[in-house]
Amino acid sequence: MSNIIITGCSSGIGFATALLLAKNKHVVFATMRQPSRNTELQDIADNKNLPINILPLDVTDNNSIKNAIAQVLYHTDKIDVLINNAGIGTLGSVEELPIEDFIHQMDTNFIGTVRCTKVVLPHMRQNRSGCIINISSVGGKIFNYFNAPYCASKAAVEAFSECLAMEMLPFGIRVAVVEPGVTDTPLQDKCKSRIKETRYPNLERCVAFFSASRAHHIPPDVVAETILHIVNRESIKFRNPTGPDSEPILGLRASMSDEDWIAGAGVDEETWIHIMEEMHLDVRKYLTRI
């Protein structure tokens, strides 16, 4: 049994992970920005008598993080696992997205991970034990057009995690990265497209890709299972691609030169649709131009 803190538990991967870990007898401190606005997780925990404690935590606010960690340590004398999951995303071109979108995504997805980690590290280092699991994305290794803020923030998480793993080695603290493919979570709903206003017609391809991928309905429970394996030491890998599309996409990118990958953004519509079909993605029905 481990004492586990999870950020971003109001929905999606965080919500599913909190439930699965609690069902497996771990004590979960599930955090979210405004617990009073989302009581579903608390209701399930109460009805099923699950060891889930819900706390307010905003990963963009240092004081909020410190207060949440202080509450955790009030309830228990040891933090075994920190899962940095909170994340946001928006689709759009570099030119047309407001600079605030870049700042907000980097602040939440990357700096939020750094903030939470820094608050927990002294405790883990003194105990010479612990595990930090950072939820990245295949987008942290594969960079695609109209996804620059998200990819940049997740690439930063990847680099940060690898550096951190080396630093923590002498103290017996594990670091692991989880790299989900496209998962059926509310994050996709929040990736608002700007097709009607954009000067970049290929933005529609990006939206169609995510729509077709999400149509496969890969639930966040798949990611939660991977996290459980890491927590239970059934996986000791540093990087953990997760979901049926993650390893194939990572493999495809690894097989291509940078130049060929970039050039792929310039293929004609029918060629692009055919490439997507080879990946078992029916994008045609999401394109309005054909």
Domains and CATH numbers, the chain: 3-194+217-245 (3.40.50.720)
Catalytic residue chosen out of the listed positions 11, 141, 153, 154: 154
Q: 15-19, 74-78, 86-90, 262-266: which has the highest mean pLDDT?
A: 15-19
Between strands 3-6 and 27-32, the pairing is parallel
Nearest of 210, 218, 216 to residue 287 by alpha carbon = 210
Nearest of 65, 61, 113 to residue 86 by alpha carbon = 113
Residue 194 has pLDDT above 80, yes or no: no
Question: Mean pLDDT for the chain?
Answer: 92
Q: Check if 141 is active-site.
A: no
Pick the residue with more confidence: 283 or 174? 174
* Residue 241, helix vs strand vs coil: strand
Catalytic residue chosen out of the listed positions 150, 161, 193, 211: 150
For 129-141, the pLDDT digits (tens) are 999 999 999 999 9
Would you place residue 38 in the very low, low, confident or very high pLDDT band (cuts 50, 70, 90)? confident
Provide DSSP, 31-97: EES-GGG--HHHHHHHHHT--EEEEE--TT-HHHHHHHHHHHHHH-S---EEEE---------TTTS
Q: Check if 150 is active-site.
A: yes
Percent of the chain with pLDDT over 90: 76
Percent of the chain with pLDDT over 70: 96
pLDDT at 188: 54
Average pLDDT in the 2-26 region?
Answer: 96
Average pLDDT in the 38-52 region?
Answer: 93
Could you tell me the pTM of the whole model?
Answer: 0.93
For 50-102, the pLDDT digits (tens) are 999 999 999 999 999 999 999 999 999 999 999 999 999 989 999 999 999 99
pLDDT at 114: 98
Q: Indicate the range of 2-6, 37-41, 42-46, 124-128 predicted with least confidence.
A: 37-41
Q: Check if 136 is active-site.
A: yes
pLDDT at 210: 85
pLDDT at 197: 81
Q: Check if 10 is active-site.
A: yes
Q: Are 178 and 76 in contact (CB under 8 A)?
A: no
pLDDT at 117: 98
Residue 195 has pLDDT above 70, yes or no: no
Would you place residue 156 in the very low, low, confident or very high pLDDT band (cuts 50, 70, 90)? very high
Pick the residue with more confidence: 190 or 31? 31
pLDDT at 286: 85
